[in-house]
Amino acid sequence: MKAFVVDKYKKNGPLRLADMPDPEIGAGDVLVRIHATAINLLDSKVRDGEFKLFLPYRPPFILGHDLAGTVIRTGANVQQFKPGDEVYARPRDGRAGTFAEMIAVDASDLALKPASLSLEQAASIPLIGLTAWQALVELGKVQPGQKVFIQAGSGGVGTFAIQLAKHLGATVATTTSAANAELVRSLGADVVIDYKTQDFEQLLSGYDLVLNSQDAQTLAKSLNVLKPGGKLISISGPPDIAFAISLGLNPVLRFVMRMLSRGIVKKAKRRGVDYAFLFMRADGPQLAEIAKLIDAGVIRAVVDKVFPFAQTADALAYVETGRAKGKVVVQVL
């Protein structure tokens, strides 16, 4: 099969189109023909080697963390899927590789795609949908009437999280540029802050939850908009000790992550709020719940551009500019 591979960890390193062996499936796996994938900043970070301490891949490896496609074959223990099913997934860590024509996915990471979406639209959802779900539903436990601040509202995670938070009954604030203000309002944002001319720290207060996706300075400022008992959930770091324990990392790496998050954890405690780092995990049942919301018209896919498979590297470079509105999709077949 054809696939785009990383030959070595390198910042802004190239992707190479290669002929790779067709995937082999185990008893609990599903072989999927990929019709579309999507680009995430996670792909850049994996390529650059930012996560190789706790998420190592042996080069050459296939990049990519989103897929929508058709089931080709199932393992002996798989009952819930059959050949011909249209599915979508974010494969679990250690089994990435959606910049390819086929992939073997653990059946528990997979779900039937939303019936109302095309395969290209469906490919845009898994990683951002699971990130938002795990932040707002699992960790955040957002309740009706609460106030939620979602940074970078016109980005991939932002466009989904605004809609989900609104569905959960929250008042939603977000940051974006003036050019994208109407987009985020159409998704349900109640308070729209132009990050180029306004300071959210001066405008927001008494919030129950902040979903941080930006730099360390923005993370620190986010503490000041939370009320006592509020929650600061970051998907951009720093990783904390709870994350290290969840991965079963050795004592040395646990110590490193404790030190990385020490400053923000101390500041959060002084303000009486909780800090948590979220590195989303694959979860097929959650994707099934997300599909229900999409098919009910609660959440819509926001796709900026669709690139052909041959231009996967160009699609990744475009996402790295930070200008994409919603998700960037690659049509594989």
104 and 177 assigned to the same domain: no
Q: Which amino acid is at 98?
A: T
C-alpha closest to that of 194 among 218, 180, 177, 214: 177
Instruction: Tell whether 293 is covered by a domain.
Output: no
Looking at the domain assignment, is residue 173 inside a domain?
A: yes
- CATH number for the domain that contains residue 227: 3.40.50.720
What pLDDT was estimated at residue 249? 87
Residues 163 and 251 in one domain: yes
Q: Give residue 41's pLDDT.
A: 94
88 and 164 co-located in one domain? no
* Residue 194, pLDDT score: 97
Q: Are 143 and 69 in a shared domain?
A: no
Kindly report the average pLDDT of the chain as a whole number. 96
Per-residue model confidence as pLDDT tens digits over 115-162 = 999 999 999 999 999 999 999 999 999 999 999 999 999 999 999 999
Do 206 and 272 have their domain in common? yes
Residue 216 belongs to some domain of the structure = yes
Domain containing 151 equals 128-277
Average pLDDT of 82-109?
A: 98
Specify the number of domains making up the chain. Answer: 2
Residue 149: per-residue pLDDT: 98
Neighbours of 128 (CB within 10 A): 27
* 167/264 same-domain check: yes
Domain identity same for 163 and 255? yes
* One domain for residues 112 and 201: no
- pTM assigned to the model: 0.97
The string of DSSP codes covering 3-37 is EEEESS--TTPPPEEEE-PPPP--TTEEEEEEEEE
Rg, the chain, Cα only: 19
For 252-300, the pLDDT digits (tens) are: 889 989 998 999 999 999 999 999 999 999 999 999 999 999 999 999 9
Same domain, 317 and 243: no
